[in-house]
Structure 1
């Protein structure tokens, strides 16, 4: 699978403008006698004053915080020392830090925040999982080629059923659907190829053929994927399939993983727990967010004569953005929450499935 690092543009804070004060005319330097050392006794100074938080507000903050902390402990099933007796605000800060340590989980990123909603202090946990910043692009041309070889038809049916599950059930976008990000990129790529001048004629014909093949294969596989009977026959096809080659053995493992997800998470969608978008345009009206459906998608091919150009277009676009949407879970402990369940497990396993599928499709059967 073609991968690219998600190079993010880091926005730095605004620096203070250097200012020039005074006119161009230079004034003569004026000297004064130095004041006597005891001169400060003739002046009065106002003490530095920082308003203290009202005592009533402080009590409400502590009360709400530890009430929320109790809900967090029950949700994750953890135990913490009682920090109520410590001075404010150290009791709150220390309790939050210890809670963050207690809920750590391997391969997950969890952050604990103190938030205020409706004038009430609560704890909130943001959870994500660690992933390498890759393009999860599933090529369908290799599957189409399997359909053109009679000896590989059983494998083609298995892998098409897997793709159908990812498309119809998991919700992964398809490059032949007009309202998708990859459809737009293929459209731009086609227009660019048509307007290209000075290119070697043979090379240009090859690229145009690759784009045509992507359209033909895409429409053919999409029609197969939309066949609900094919998707639902996956268990029967797995039982009837006898793998003979390493490629076929891997295809069976990929299909079994897809079937397991379908059965374990009925009705689940990959984008159900995507991170919220707080701001989506910069000062120039351009998108600042890389959406999940933009870096997780079906494509034509990842090895043909136009794939490098396609990936370069996508990478250049993504490099202009500052934030990547990811699977994320946010829980606010303002009220009682049910016991913790791993709601990100499905998204994590789907991305693993896509990785295995793309690795298989990169090989020759």
Structure 2
């Protein structure tokens, strides 16, 4: 429970804030106008365009390269591509890409379809598959083991061979011989 002080402080004046004196008025914000929620509709934005794609010839070139790449991919993976030539430029490629991606997922589920763009504004389709390195990221070189075996260092060879056997069988590390896996 709070106690009430028995004496009161007298003679001390409260200080005013340095920013506002007693003779100044408090500034209030202007009330929003009635159409404030719709003012964003009056804002004009410039369209986002690539400088290289402003002329019609480069768009036609990109479409030709894309459909040529799509035809090659369809022949390689044995599916029928669906061409959306009746749609305008970005939508025809986007729809054909989605269709090819779904067809490729049916044939090869591990492959991913991507569009590759080069600096000279040429494009093509490419498939990407992830190489799962799992535990095979580290490889054991066989050169030291072969060297010990050829120079008749039997004890060192047996010791290293048992270490390699443990790492290969228990941990799953791969053994490699210069250019090939053992």
**TM-score normalised over the length of structure 1:** 0.29
* Contact 1:104/1:110, CA 8 A, preserved across alignment: yes
Structure 2 CA distance, aligned partners of 1:82 and 1:76? 17
Q: Does 1:301 align with 2:166?
A: yes
Structure 2 CA distance, aligned partners of 1:26 and 1:72? 75
Following superposition, the deviation at residue 36 of structure 1 comes to 5.8
Deviations 1:285-312 (A, max 9, x none): xxxxxxxxxxxxx924149xxx8xxx6x
The corresponding residue for 1:177 is 144
The corresponding residue for 1:216 is 157
The corresponding residue for 2:134 is 133
* Contact 2:62/2:121, CA 8 A, preserved across alignment: no
Match of 1:119 among 105, 118, 121: 121
The corresponding residue for 2:71 is 70
Deviations 1:147-203 (A, max 9, x none): xxxxxxxxxxxxxxxxxxxxxxxxx6426639xxxxxxxxxxxxxxxxxxxxxxxxx
The corresponding residue for 1:110 is 111
Structure 2 CA distance, aligned partners of 1:80 and 1:302? 48
Q: Unaligned 5+ residue runs, structure 2?
A: 1-16, 21-25, 37-41, 146-153, 174-179
Describe how 1:14-33 pairs up with structure 2 within 5 A: 30-33=27-30
Following superposition, the deviation at residue 34 of structure 1 comes to 3.4
Q: Which has the higher contact order (CA 8 A, sep 6+)?
A: 1
The corresponding residue for 1:282 is none
Following superposition, the deviation at residue 124 of structure 1 comes to 1.4
Structure 2 CA distance, aligned partners of 1:214 and 1:136? 29
Describe how 1:1-365 pairs up with structure 2 within 5 A: 30-34=27-31, 37=34, 46-52=43-49, 53-56=53-56, 57-104=58-105, 109-117=110-118, 118-128=120-130, 133-135=134-136, 173-174=140-141, 177=144, 215-217=156-158, 299-302=164-167
**TM-score normalised over the length of structure 2:** 0.52
Higher helix share: 1
Which structure's CA Rg is the greater one? 2
Q: CA-atom RMSD, angstroms?
A: 4.5
* Contact 1:214/1:301, CA 8 A, preserved across alignment: no
Deviations 1:323-343 (A, max 9, x none): xxxxxxxxxxxxxxxxxxxxx
Structure 2 CA distance, aligned partners of 1:92 and 1:175? 50
Question: Alpha carbons of 1:102 and 1:174: their partners in 2 closer, same or farther (altered >3 Å)?
Answer: same
